[in-house]
Structure 1
Amino acid sequence: MIYKVYYQENVLEVPVRENTKSMYIQADSEKKVRELLQGRNYNVEYIQLLEGKHLEFEQALSHFELEQV
């Protein structure tokens, strides 16, 4: 399964919507995604499962790239 993770780069800063970034991660579950990101200093806002037409749309975007964690 592929997940889209919305995050802020620094866990110590107050989240600002304009600074939200996203990445794509392949994992078996949302829990596994959180485990994979545990060593990074990210403030994870939301993890979204991508499937079906939504996944096809995201894969068609030029910035779609699976993160290697």
Structure 2
Amino acid sequence: MIYKVYYQGDAECTPRRERTQTLYAEAASIPDLKKKIVEKFNYSIEYVAELNEQDLDYEKEHNSDFEVLKDL
């Protein structure tokens, strides 16, 4: 499954909406994905959304830097 992850770049800082970033990643489950992202990047995860085919098509069309992280 592919997920869109909303996160803050530094887990130590107070979250601010203006600093929210996104990434796309493939994982077996949301808990597994969260664990891997925190371990690898030390990001503060705000929200994780599961993407269906329509969502993926939209993201590919409207985000020039669209890339799915695999093998986290």
Band the TM-score falls in, shorter-chain normalisation: 0.7 to 0.9
Separation of aligned partners in 2, 1:17 and 1:63: 21
Q: Which residue of 2 aligns with 1:47?
A: 48
Q: 1:37-57 CA deviation, whole Å, 9 max, x = no partner?
A: 131221100001010311210
Separation of aligned partners in 2, 1:35 and 1:16: 22
Give, as a single letter, the amino acid of the residue that structure 1 aligns with 2:45.
V
Poorly superposed stretches of 4+, deviation over 3 Å: none
Separation of aligned partners in 1, 2:52 and 2:29: 13
Normalised by the size of structure 2, how large is the TM-score?
Answer: 0.84
Matches for 1:1-69 after TM superposition, within 5 Å: 1-39=1-39, 40-60=41-61, 61-68=63-70, 69=72
Normalised by the size of structure 1, how large is the TM-score?
Answer: 0.87
The number of aligned residues is 69
In structure 2, list runs of 5 or more residues that go unmatched.
none
Cα RMSD over matched residues? 1.3
